Homo-oligomer: A and B are copies of this chain.
Amino acid sequence: MLPDHQLLRIPGPSPIPPSVQRAMSQQMIGHRGQETKDLLQRIKPKLMPIFGTEQEVMIIAGSGTAGLETAVVNAVNPDDEVLVIVTGSFGERFAKLCSEYRIQTHRLDIEWGKSVSPESVERYLRQHPSIKAVFSTYCETSTGVLNPIEELAQVVHHNSNALFIVDGVSCVGGVESKMDEWGVDILITGSQKAMMLPAGLTFVAASNRAWKVIAANKRPRFYLDLKKYQITLAKDSTPFTPALSLLFGLEQVLKLMEEEGLEQVYARHQLMKNMTRAAFQAHGIPLLTSDTSASPTVTAIKPADFPAEELRRIIKKEFGLSIAGGQQHLEGEIFRIGHMGYCSPADVLQIIGIIEIGLQKIGKAIDLGKGIRAAQKVYIG
């Protein structure tokens, strides 16, 4: 195998663009000085369109889970009842977070691989009028499902006064988010997926309704106190020491996304999804998700007649291509391809080409190139 040649196509972390690597290697500066204020001032307006909001987007040094916890400890009062829509392991995380904080937590469990239907949420909310917050994942990384956030926001607001809180960690930046227009009250993402950075930053934006609840919330919190971030960000600063190297990289990421154009970024992710799905469909290899509930950032495949782990092992060994396996009860049952952030349609062709060789090598008789051809046709249109 060619040394120092790794292809990272798991659903996060995603590869870092060279110019972002260079930006991150800038020497440190005083994080309370004018240079850092200027940096944050340049970053702030470019984050807002990615969230589809006129609200400032808070930047916290921490993993995505810190962002999820930020939503819980700021927006949920001690006595509130909440509903968590669980479509996979990251829905589970919201539920665990709420129960750890002893919040009365209702669960709406959806079969892994399916998206939640707005009707089922509507029914649930009508039966439980006291629910104060509804939690959902946007892209469920563990299954490659994209939940219908716009429709969910509608049913939440038509059937309750609950806040609608969305985990967008594995898709915001690669999939359109219209937080304000749709009525999402809190949207969270992380740095290591479609945002093309190493992990270590989490981003949280809140609606005016959410800010009102946050201001009135008496729950103790300090490092994840969103109000502290709002007050300091208004002055182009942070309440606690910022992760500077990641902020240097973030500015360059935002430049790259602006150059390409957000519409084109989203179209590219749609295209990569369609190419990937077409390739496996051409081979008659089952996909975990339906065309309508599939995410543009990650595709899960559920092979019927070959071992997923065998395939992952051989393509990693022969080509350095890393793809992900399944989580929890789907371990060994599925494999997942990340096509997000710094990933192009040409990379998808490469992934499919390698997987076809891998399938041949593990003894599945396949028509080499057939998946590629299907993906190429999707590209040409």
Chain A residues within 8 Å of B, Cβ to Cβ: 6, 8, 10, 12-16, 21-22, 24-25, 27-31, 33, 61-66, 69, 96-97, 100-102, 190, 192, 198-200, 220-225, 240-246, 322, 324
In the assembled complex, the Cα of A100 lies from the Cα of B224 at a distance in Å of 12
Interfacial chain B residues near A31, Cβ < 8 Å: 13, 199
Contacts of A240 in B (CB 8 A): 63-66
Closest to A13 in B: B28
Contacting pair A24 B27 (CB below 8 A): no
User: Given that A13-B31, A30-B10 are contacting pairs, would A63 and B192 also be in contact in the complex, using a CB cutoff of 8 Å?
Assistant: no
A28 and B198 form a contact (CB under 8 A): yes
Instruction: Please tell me if the beta carbons of B64 and A241 are within 8 angstroms of each other in the complex.
Output: yes
A200 contacts B69, C-beta separation under 8 Å = no
Q: Are B200 and A322 in contact (CB under 8 A)?
A: no
A200 contacts B30, C-beta separation under 8 Å: no
Contact of A27 among B16, B242, B246 (CB under 8 A): B16
Q: Which residues of B contact A198 (CB under 8 A)?
A: 28, 243-246
Q: Which of B33, B220, B242, B243 contacts A100 (CB 8 A)?
A: B220
Q: Are A199 and B27 in contact (CB under 8 A)?
A: no
Q: Pick the contact of A200 from B10, B101, B102, B243 — CB < 8 Å?
A: B243
B30 touches A322 (CB 8 A): yes
A22 vs B25: C-alpha distance in the bound complex, in angstroms?
Answer: 8
Top 8 A-B pairs, shortest CB-CB distance: A200-B243, A198-B245, A63-B241, A63-B240, A13-B28, A65-B240, A199-B241, A101-B220
Partner of A245, one of B24, B224, B241: B24
Determine how close the nearest CB of chain B comes to the CB of A325; give it in whole angstroms.
9
A25 to chain B: which residues have CB within 8 Å?
21-22, 24-25
Across the two chains, which residue of chain B brings its CB closest to A16? B28
A26 (CB) vs chain B CBs: closest residue? B21
Give the docked Cα–Cα distance between A66 and B239 (Å).
Answer: 12
- Judge whether A222 and B192 touch: CB under 8 Å: no
Q: How far is the CB of A342 from chain B (nearest CB, A)?
A: 10
* CB–CB A244/B13 < 8 A: yes
Contacts of A16 in B (CB 8 A): 27-28
CB neighbours (8 Å) of A223 from chain B are 62-63, 65-66, 69, 224
Besides the known contacts A28-B192, A30-B324, 18 further A-B residue pairs in the complex with CB atoms under 8 A apart: A6-B29, A13-B244, A15-B28, A24-B24, A30-B322, A31-B199, A61-B66, A61-B200, A63-B240, A64-B241, A65-B223, A69-B223, A100-B220, A198-B243, A198-B246, A199-B242, A200-B245, A245-B245
A200, closest chain B residue (CB)? B243
Give the complex CA separation of A133 and B192 in angstroms: 37
**CB-CB < 8 A to A8: which residues of B?**
27-30
Q: Give CA–CA (A15, B29) in the complex, Å.
A: 8
Q: Chain B residues near A200 (CB, 8 Å)?
A: 61, 200, 243, 245-246
